[in-house]
């Protein structure tokens, strides 16, 4: 993996962990996802117009279909993620989502897209998965907790985390195909997907407008933060996919776990800090192995 791609991924990881902590603190649902998508559309409109100038007329049905599919997958991913944050701890949902998604993405890239990976790269993937396992609770995930209520909460976090990971893998493969094989602009894939997300999520807001207004007053600051910075993290990853194999980029994104362990655990007071840091160190080692492999 080129150092330029690794630098993009590390920066994206810091941004990604930050906006997920904000989303967790917001405690939102599909309506919060709508708020953030609208924020993205407004804040990034100048960039979207600049990137689309002279490009969109050359697009055919394949490109537009990819944007539509990507937008729907991102909606499903975000809504499931937000629901997981309401039902369980971030330090369970986020690591499992971030760990299972890239692992599935890499497997698809290797088996279906014909990408190659060395033994060092395989060791890197194993390091990332092992580190995510420790951050999510380690052996405690298998035996959960002695408290039945906490056990149910951990199990819910596992279910939502793994389901979110499946959607992450799906949109990563779709978007990766767009930037690598269709040579589509990473900025346009992400920005135009907002229009799809707003259209899909609008009924959840219009169904009960007074409730939506109340939520907006409580959550607009978090929506502003997520809308302003979350596109940056993903666009950086898409640019990294243009110069590095998807099977390396997808697992390397888990460097965000390093920042989530150091920042999120302190702010939210979740989980065992030492175990989280050990998991983060293992992830960092895995990322370096991917960079070499």
> How far is residue 183's CA from residue 279's CA, in Å, rounded to a whole number?
36
Contact predicate 20/90, CB 8 Å? yes
- Indicate the number of domains in the chain: 1
Question: CA neighbours within 13 Å on the CB side: how many for 21?
Answer: 20
CA 2 – CA 5 distance, rounded (Å) = 5
* 189 against 172, higher pLDDT: 189
pLDDT digits (tens, 9 = 90+) for 112-162: 767 777 888 788 778 877 877 776 666 665 555 566 776 777 778 888 888
pLDDT at 193: 93
pLDDT band at 283 (very low <50, low <70, confident <90, very high): confident
Question: Residue 183 — φ and ψ, nearest 5°?
Answer: 55, 40
Q: For residue 62, is it within any domain?
A: no
Residue 54: Cβ within 10 Å count: 7
Residue 145 has a pLDDT of 52
For residues 186 and 155, give the distance between their C-alpha atoms in angstroms, rounded to a whole number. Answer: 35
Question: What percent of the chain clears pLDDT 90, i.e. is strictly above it?
Answer: 33
CA distances from 261 to 127, 182, 237, 255, 272 (A): 16, 36, 20, 10, 10
Please determine, for residue 284, whether its predicted confidence score (pLDDT) is greater than 90: no
pLDDT higher than 70, residue 230: yes
Distance CA 36, CA 224 (A): 7
Whether 254 is covered by a domain: the verdict is: yes
Entry field: residues in the chain? 293
- Residue 120 within any structural domain of the chain: yes
- Determine, yes or no, domain membership for 60: no
CB neighbours of residue 93 within 10 Å: 31
d(CA 210, CA 215): 9
pLDDT of 257-280, one tens digit each? 666 666 655 555 555 667 767 776
- pLDDT, one tens digit per residue, over 169-178 is 888 889 989 9
Q: What pLDDT shows up at residue 231?
A: 86
| Assigned domain for 61 exists | no
The parent domain of residue 140 ranges over 3-52+67-292
> In this predicted structure, what is the pLDDT of residue 289?
76
pLDDT band per the 50, 70, 90 thresholds, residue 51: very high
pLDDT of residue 273: 65
Q: Which of 220, 268, 113 minimizes the C-alpha distance to 176? A: 113
Q: What is the mean pLDDT of residues 49-75?
A: 94
How far apart are the C-alpha atoms of 175 and 271, rounded to whole Å?
A: 33
Q: What is the pLDDT of residues 52-63, one digit of tens each?
A: 998 999 999 999
User: Measured over all CA atoms, what is the biggest interatomic distance in the chain, rounded to whole angstroms?
Assistant: 61
pLDDT above 70: percentage of residues in the chain: 78
Q: What are the tens digits of pLDDT across the range 16-32?
A: 778 888 888 888 889 99
User: Do the domain assignments include residue 261?
Assistant: yes
Start-to-end CA distance of the chain, whole Å, equals 7
User: Is residue 265 domain-resident?
Assistant: yes
Which of these, 194, 166, 172, 188, lies nearest to 253 by C-alpha position? Answer: 172
Please give the residue that has the higher pLDDT: either 46 or 136: 46
Q: Report the distance separating Cα 103 and Cα 119, nearest Å.
A: 15
* Ordered DSSP codes for 218-239: HHHHHHHHHHHHHHHHHHHHHH
Q: Are 174 and 77 in contact (CB under 8 A)?
A: no
Assess if residue 119 is contained within a domain: yes
CA separation, residue 38 to residues 19, 189, 199 (Å)? 16, 16, 10
């Amino acid at each position: 993996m080129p150092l330029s791609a690794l630098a993009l991924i590390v920066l994206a990881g810091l941004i990604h962990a930050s906006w997920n902590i904000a989303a967790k603190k917001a405690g939102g649902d599909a309506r919060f996802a709508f708020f953030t998508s609208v924020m993205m559309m407004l804040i990034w409109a100048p960039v979207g117009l600049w990137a689309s100038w002279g490009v969109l007329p050359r697009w055919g049905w394949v490109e537009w279909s990819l944007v539509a599919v990507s937008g729907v997958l991102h909606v499903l991913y975000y809504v499931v993620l937000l629901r997981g944050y309401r039902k369980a701890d971030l330090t369970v949902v986020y690591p499992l989502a971030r760990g299972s998604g890239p692992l599935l993405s890499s497997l698809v890239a290797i088996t279906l897209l014909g990408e190659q990976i060395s033994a060092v790269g395989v060791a890197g993937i194993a390091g990332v998965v092992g580190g995510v396992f420790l951050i999510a609770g380690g052996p405690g995930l298998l035996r959960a907790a002695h408290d039945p209520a906490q056990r149910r909460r951990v199990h819910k976090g596992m279910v939502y985390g793994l389901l979110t990971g499946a959607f992450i893998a799906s949109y990563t493969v779709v978007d990766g195909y767009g930037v690598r094989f269709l040579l589509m602009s990473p900025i346009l894939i992400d920005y135009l997907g907002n229009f799809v997300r707003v259209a899909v999520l609008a009924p959840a807001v219009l169904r009960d407008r007074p409730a939506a207004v109340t939520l907006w007053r409580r959550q607009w600051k978090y929506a502003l933060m997520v809308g302003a910075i979350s596109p940056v993290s993903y666009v950086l990853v898409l640019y990294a996919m243009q110069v590095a194999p998807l099977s390396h980029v997808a697992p390397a994104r888990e460097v965000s776990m390093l920042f989530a362990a150091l920042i999120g655990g302190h702010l939210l007071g979740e989980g065992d800090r030492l175990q989280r840091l050990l998991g983060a160190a293992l992830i960092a080692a895995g990322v370096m192995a991917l960079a070499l492999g």
